[in-house]
């Protein structure tokens, strides 16, 4: 399957217009346009309609930009937005309801509650690998919480950006939700403006720039980053299932997934069996020639293709390794005997190249993981519940999945986020609503009874009494 070669659109917004755009969105929020439950429901329904009524155009854009198969495009990028919108609408009244808190005896008469209020104007900056989902999924939580928003899609998927730029004003409230296209210059201009929350998905280097800009206005941030997500395969694992599920999670979207297994640590006695199982799984997924498979994606651009090709120089290939820069194609590839200092182990791969490293036991694998930055995801294959608990207790990661890959991010009732260098904050489902809400503490005092004990003058007797009561 070759990537379409039609002329690329130029994703661009006039930089000079950005301050006025942000001001317009803020004016809508300040006018309380976004607070009513009815407005929130309208926008949630509109987000779902935007996807439903533009599936063909968006799938075509995803295919042109990323070579993404329609199945992957719908399941991982489009359909999930419809589902999240419906869930948010169904749960909205419960999420918005004030949360009661108990009041201690010494504070009565009073009642206490937590009231969730919108933060204000959110800036959502999305990446290119899942360019629809990772832009609109945070937006669902932002509008459910009653916020206005400015959206910034990735310029590296220009056809998707162009489709979203056409659709967003047609479906969503243009006064309270705006979309800005472009690259570094436009993003820099956006970061000069004051926002009430910045939600960024991407790499750690740009995240530092985002945090520096946010610090100037004391703006809170959510950072969804990445890292080298390890996969530990214990000696007792069902190797056929492990190989198939690792191959699926790794080669989905040609490996361009922030939670894809980045490398595998497998017991040495079963390393050969795993590699053979991975090769078998790849053949069953994509045939003998993955290049011709309609179900295998492409690398986003030439620059990333060349970066990934660099990992294969002098690497020991177990299978794969075929490259075609003109088609942005890299075959599903497994490399072996990879040292900790090799290029493939120095940065997140973010492509269809999987290092397999043999270890003596799970203890060695745990030590290997703990010596490195905390990853966004950790995968473990074992049938031993005690070993499962031991690995989860002794490693730290944004999320984890046992005997599977990717599924922890798909669960609608679990938050998704990183830890340490892999990110901060979390979203999905109610967690997204909470991310864009301020939990305001409210105490309402009764007026029928007004004890004088807390008013001055205090005196020695009252001081001793209060110490006895509260001490």
Residuewise pLDDT in 10s, the chain (471 residues): 555 455 677 778 999 999 999 999 999 999 999 999 999 999 999 999 999 999 999 999 999 999 999 999 999 999 999 999 999 999 999 999 999 999 988 788 899 999 999 999 999 999 999 999 999 999 999 999 999 999 999 999 999 999 999 999 999 999 999 999 999 999 999 999 999 999 999 999 999 999 999 999 999 999 999 999 999 999 999 999 999 999 999 999 999 999 999 999 999 999 999 999 999 999 999 999 999 999 999 999 999 999 999 999 989 999 999 999 999 999 999 999 999 999 999 999 999 999 999 999 999 999 999 999 999 999 999 999 999 999 999 999 999 999 999 999 999 899 999 999 999 999 999 999 999 999 999 999 988 888 787 889 989 988 888 888 777
What distance in Å separates the CA atoms of residue 370 and residue 171, rounded to the nearest whole number? Answer: 47
Structure tokens given for 316? 């020991």
Question: Is the preceding omega at residue 109 within 30 degrees of 0, hence cis?
Answer: yes
Q: Other C-beta atoms within 10 Å of 73: how many? A: 25
* List of residues 6+ apart from 434 with CB closer than 8 A: 116, 145
Alpha helices in 193-301 (DSSP H): 204-216, 239-251, 271-286
Structure tokens given for 304? 């990333």
Task: Output the pLDDT for position 274.
Answer: 98
**Kind of pairing, strands 148-152 and 121-125?**
parallel
Query: Rounded to the nearest 5°, which phi and psi values hold at 378?
Result: -135, 135
Structure tokens given for 308? 């990934």
Please say if 224 is a catalytic residue: yes
User: Which residue(s) pair with 224 in the sheet?
Assistant: 201, 423
Radius of gyration of the chain (CA): 25
CA angle 438, 217, 161 (to 5 degrees): 80
**Active-site residue (options: 155, 186, 231, 258):** 258
User: Which residue(s) pair with 123 in the sheet?
Assistant: 150, 198
Structure tokens given for 166? 């056409």
Task: List % helix, strand, coil for the chain (3-state, nearest 5).
Answer: 45, 20, 35
* List of residues 6+ apart from 395 with CB closer than 8 A: 366, 369, 370, 378
**Kind of pairing, strands 230-233 and 197-201?**
unpaired
DSSP annotation of 292: G
What distance in Å separates the CA atoms of residue 83 and residue 413, rounded to the nearest whole number? Answer: 12
User: Which residue(s) pair with 317 in the sheet?
Assistant: 335
Query: Does the domain at residues 15-225+423-439 carry the CATH identifier 3.40.605.10?
Result: yes
What is the per-residue DSSP string for 360-419? SSHHHHHHHHHTSPPPSEEEEE-S-HHHHHHHHHH---SEEEESSSSHHHH-TTS-EE--
Question: 230-417: same fold as 15-225+423-439?
Answer: no
The residue extents of the domains of the chain are 15-225+423-439, 230-417
Is the CA virtual torsion 455, 457, 462, 463 positive or negative?
positive
DSSP annotation of 112: E
**Active-site residue (options: 155, 193, 224, 271):** 224
- Alpha-carbon distances of 4 from 8, 67, 73, 302, rounded to whole Å: 10, 8, 16, 14
Indicate yes or no: pTM above 0.75: yes
First and final C-alpha spacing in the chain: 74
Homologous superfamily of domain range 230-417: Aldehyde Dehydrogenase; Chain A, domain 2 (3.40.309.10)
Question: Is the preceding omega at residue 106 within 30 degrees of 0, hence cis?
Answer: no
- Alpha-carbon distances of 222 from 126, 167, 247, 301, rounded to whole Å: 12, 26, 30, 27
Query: How many alpha carbons fall within 13 Å on the CB side of residue 292?
Result: 4
Please say if 401 is a catalytic residue: no
Helices (H) and strands (E) in the chain, counts: 17, 20
């Amino acid at each position: 399957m070759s990537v379409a070669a039609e002329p690329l659109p130029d994703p661009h917004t006039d930089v000079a217009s950005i301050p006025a755009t942000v001001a317009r969105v803020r004016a809508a929020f300040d006018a309380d346009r976004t607070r009513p439950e009815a407005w929130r429901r309208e926008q949630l329904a509109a987000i779902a309609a935007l996807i439903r009524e533009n599936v063909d155009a968006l799938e075509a854009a995803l295919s042109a930009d990323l070579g993404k198969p329609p199945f992957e495009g719908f399941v991982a990028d489009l359909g999930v937005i419809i589902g999240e919108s419906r869930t948010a609408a169904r749960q909205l009244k419960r999420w918005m309801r004030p949360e009661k808190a108990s009041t201690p005896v010494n504070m009565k008469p009073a009642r206490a509650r937590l009231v969730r209020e919108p933060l204000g104007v959110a800036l959502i900056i999305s990446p290119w690998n899942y360019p629809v989902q990772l832009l609109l999924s945070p937006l669902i939580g932002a509008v459910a919480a009653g916020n206005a928003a400015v959206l910034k899609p990735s310029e590296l998927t220009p056809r998707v950006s162009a489709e979203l730029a056409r659709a967003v004003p047609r479906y969503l409230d243009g006064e309270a939700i705006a979309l800005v296209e472009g690259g570094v210059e436009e993003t820099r201009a956006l970061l000069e403006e004051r926002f009430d929350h910045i939600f960024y998905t991407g790499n750690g280097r740009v995240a530092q720039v985002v945090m520096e800009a946010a610090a100037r206005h004391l703006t809170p941030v959510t950072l969804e980053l990445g890292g080298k997500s390890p996969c530990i395969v214990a000696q007792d694992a069902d190797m056929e299932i492990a190989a198939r599920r690792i191959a699926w999670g790794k080669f989905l979207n040609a490996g361009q997934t922030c939670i894809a297994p980045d490398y595998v640590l497998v017991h040495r006695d079963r390393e050969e069996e795993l590699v053979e199982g991975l090769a078998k799984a790849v053949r069953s997924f994509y045939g003998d020639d993955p290049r011709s498979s309609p179900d295998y994606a492409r690398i986003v651009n030439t620059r990333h293709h060349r970066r990934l090709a660099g990992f294969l120089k002098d690497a020991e290939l177990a299978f794969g390794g075929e490259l075609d820069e003109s088609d942005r194609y890299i075959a599903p590839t497994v490399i072996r005997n990879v040292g900790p200092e090799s290029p493939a182990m120095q940065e997140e791969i973010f492509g269809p190249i999987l290092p397999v490293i043999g270890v003596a036991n799970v203890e060695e694998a745990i030590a290997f993981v703990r010596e490195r930055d905390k990853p966004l995801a950790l995968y473990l294959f074992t049938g031993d519940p005690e070993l499962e608990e031991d690995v989860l207790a002794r490693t730290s990661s944004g999320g984890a999945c046992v005997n599977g890959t990717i599924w922890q991010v798909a669960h609608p009732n679990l938050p998704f986020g990183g830890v340490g260098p892999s990110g901060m904050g979390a979203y999905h489902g109610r967690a997204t609503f909470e991310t864009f809400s301020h939990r305001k503490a409210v105490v309402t005092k009764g007026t029928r009874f007004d004890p004088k004990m807390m008013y001055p003058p205090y005196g020695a007797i009252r001081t001793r009494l209060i110490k006895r009561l509260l001490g």
